[in-house]
Amino acid sequence: MKSQKNIPGEPRWTRKLFFSLLIFVSLIVLAELIITGAAINDHYRRSRPSFLVQEDVIFLHRVRANLDIEAPRYAHLQLNLQKTLSKTVADYFHVYTNSLGLREKNDVPHPNEQAEYRIICYGDSVTFGWGSNYDEAYPHLLQKELGTHYTFPIRVINAGQPGFSSYQSVLFYKEVLAPLKPDLVISAFGHNDHHLGIKGYQSAREKFVENTTGLGKWRMILRGFNTFLLWERLVTAVTGRVRFLLNPGQLDDLDGPGSLVEYEENMSQLALEISRQGALNLFLTQPMSIHDSVYDRYNETLRALCATQKLPLVDLVPPFDRALSELTTPPTAITPPPNFLFWDNVHPTAVGNALIANEICDYLHTGKLDLTLAQK
């Protein structure tokens, strides 16, 4: 019996290539099913970039939606989240978020059709209230205090996004917050522009563009597949270890400054966007328990911008400095809280958040901003 000949026009190598690709794809699908079924990446996905924040192809990252968790306050607990849930309750703070990833118990009706004055508190983890329960974060305290001074209804919304830089702030405001139709936006950014020295970024925009366009965007999309994510985790672990062995002092450069020029441009653009959407704007400087020359330059840049463009500003640094000077225990950058104002060097405690709320209220009571329903 004669062997079957190749079909004319169909070279043998094309059939081999087809079957090779079929086998490869089948193995990938099988690996995906096995890794997914074994839940190998599940804890990693919940804890990276953090248990509160997930990657996002539009904003680089954002707070996870619909959370209702006890979040570890300190870094040593974050590394072992599953193993430490039985630790002291004082080491955790409760977090819930709505469908937009805002730190609110319920979704905010939008557009704003109710007869209420709507204030959005916008910023990074300080605004979010890292380390503090919902009723201890400054937006909630501000809501309570304003409610005792005004006869019309006021809704204060906590739109803090941990890890956000000034560059992300403009994008997120335009896409997510502007549709909520706020009457006043209180904004505080700068801490995460300072930390751009990690991996050598020179500006917030550089970090954002590198990780949300081209190969960076594709990597983020492919991480949705468990096979790729596991492979990337293994490669990162090996290459990271090699880099550390070759350069053990690399961790000394994690706090390199970003671009002050770009920070000024971003904050100016944010103010412009808020105004364009019909809302009032109020900026806040960001205090720390210990003065840092780089942080100070960001606050100085914001003060200069507000003075030049006549933008409203509440400078929180002087009142925090006064409060810190009155403490009997000298502030340090260690945990547990070095004083009654900060959980660490950056994030205020309930007492610190109350100070922020009081300073904002004092400013609003001066009448420099038209906090009335007539504005609507």
Measured distance CA(73)–CA(61) in Å, rounded:
20
Residue 297 lies in a domain: yes
Question: Could you tell me if 204 and 170 are in contact, meaning their C-beta atoms sit under 8 angstroms apart?
Answer: no
Query: 201: part of which helix (H) or strand (E)?
Result: none
Q: Residue 205 corresponds to which tokens in the numbers above? A: 């925009």
Q: Which residues contact 34 (CB under 8 A, 6 or more apart)?
A: none
Is 130 among the domain residues?
yes
Q: Which element (helix H / strand E) includes 184?
A: strand 184-188
**Are 34 and 116 members of one domain?**
no
Report residue 349 as tokens.
């405690």
| DSSP-derived 3-state class of residue 186 | strand
C-alpha–C-alpha distance, residues 141 and 126, integer Å:
14
Host H or E run for residue 70: strand 68-72
Whether residue 294 is contained in a domain is answered as yes
Rounded to two decimals, what is the model's pTM?
0.84
Q: How many C-beta atoms surround the C-beta of residue 19 within 10 A?
A: 10
Higher-pLDDT residue of 152, 67: 67
Mean pLDDT of 60-85: 71
Mind listing the pLDDT tens digit for each residue in 30-53? Answer: 999 999 999 998 988 877 888 899
Residue 215 domain flag: no
Residue 367's pLDDT is what? 85
Quick one: 37 and 112 in the same domain? no
Domain extent, residue 165, equals 107-197+256-368
Per-residue pLDDT tens for 323-374? 888 875 555 544 445 557 888 888 999 999 999 999 999 999 888 887 776 5
| Helices 226-246 + 12-37 axis angle, to 10 | 80
Read off the pLDDT of each residue in 297-301 and give the average, rounded to a whole number: 94
Sorting pLDDT into bands at 50, 70 and 90, what band is 18? confident
DSSP code of residue 183: S
Regarding whether 31 and 163 lie in a shared domain, the answer is no
Q: Identify the H or E element spanning 272.
A: helix 260-276
**54 inside domain:** no
- Shared domain for 34 and 138, answered yes or no, is no
The DSSP call for residue 159 is -
Q: How far apart are CA 263 and CA 268, in angstroms?
A: 9
Number of domains in the chain: 2
